[in-house]
């Protein structure tokens, strides 16, 4: 593992936890030049697969990119040295020459936002059902007010107004009769 005291202090070293695959089996992650033969290619592919399942792969990649002098060889976060060089070039083009500072500032801001949130769990009263049985409105008791409303509705439905008869004024009818 690289010497942490030479590392860029703006990006925390995530490799402090023990038991990482690259610590227990460093030979698997060795990579200086392009893989020489099929066995070598298989080994590198296996190392990259192992990195893919590593719990700190994102932090490892950030650290490896921020510390080129410490990660000139080897597989780090599933990347080869050439891939890391390409990634650094793209980061520089996108964020400027001090891209490490930009990334570190964004990390600090994110950490501040997460600590600003309340950490204590919100005391939410346990939910309880309003009805002990599944809600079936047609089985619930009807209140007197509802009964009255229903009665009025039925009355209105039964009332059918008689059609209005056309009436003629008497004077007009007499004149027509003559």
Pick the closer one to ligand SF4 by CB: 10 or 46. 46
What are the angstrom distances between the C-alpha of 6 and each of 1, 11, 68, 81, 89?
12, 12, 11, 19, 22
For ligand SF4, the binding residue among 65, 76, 80, 81 (CB under 6 A) is: 76
The answer to whether 77 contacts ligand SF4 (rule: CB under 6 A) is: yes
Task: Restricting to residues 31-50, name those near ligand SF4 by CB under 6 A.
Answer: 50
Rule CB under 6 A: is residue 54 a binding residue for ligand SF4? yes
Contact 28, 47 (CB under 8 A): yes
Among 22, 65, 70, 100, binds ligand SF4 (CB under 6 A): 22
Query: How many Å apart are CA 78 and CA 80, to the nearest integer?
Result: 7
20: contact with ligand SF4 by CB under 6 A: yes
Q: Which residues of 27-62 are buried (b: 16+ CB within 10 A; e: fewer)?
A: ebbebeeeeeeeeeeebbeebbebbeebebbebbbb
Per-residue binding string, ligand SF4, 96-135, x by CB under 6 A, is: ----------------------------------------
The residue within the footprint of ligand SF4, chosen from 11, 51, 65, 104 (CB under 6 A), is: 51
Residues 105 and 58: their CA atoms lie apart, in Å, by 17
Chain residues binding ligand SF4 by CB under 6 A are 15, 20-22, 29, 50-51, 54, 56-57, 60, 76-77
């Amino acid at each position: 593992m690289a010497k942490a005291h030479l590392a860029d202090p703006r990006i925390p070293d995530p490799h402090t936890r023990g038991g990482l695959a690259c610590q227990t089996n460093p030979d698997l992650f060795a990579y200086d030049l392009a893989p020489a033969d099929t066995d070598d290619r298989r080994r590198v592919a296996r190392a990259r697969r192992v990195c893919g399942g590593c719990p700190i792969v994102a932090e490892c990649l950030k650290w490896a990119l921020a510390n080129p002098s410490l990660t000139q060889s080897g597989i780090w976060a599933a990347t080869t040295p050439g891939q890391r060089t390409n990634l650094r070039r793209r980061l520089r083009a996108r964020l400027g020459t001090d891209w490490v500072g930009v990334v570190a500032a964004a990390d600090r801001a994110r950490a501040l936002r997460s600590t600003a949130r309340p950490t204590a769990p919100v005391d939410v009263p346990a939910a309880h059902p309003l009805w002990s049985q599944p809600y079936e409105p047609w089985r619930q008791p009807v209140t007197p007010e509802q009964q009255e409303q229903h009665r009025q509705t039925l009355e209105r439905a039964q009332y059918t107004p008689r059609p209005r008869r056309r009436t003629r004024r008497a004077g007009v009818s007499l004149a027509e009769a003559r």
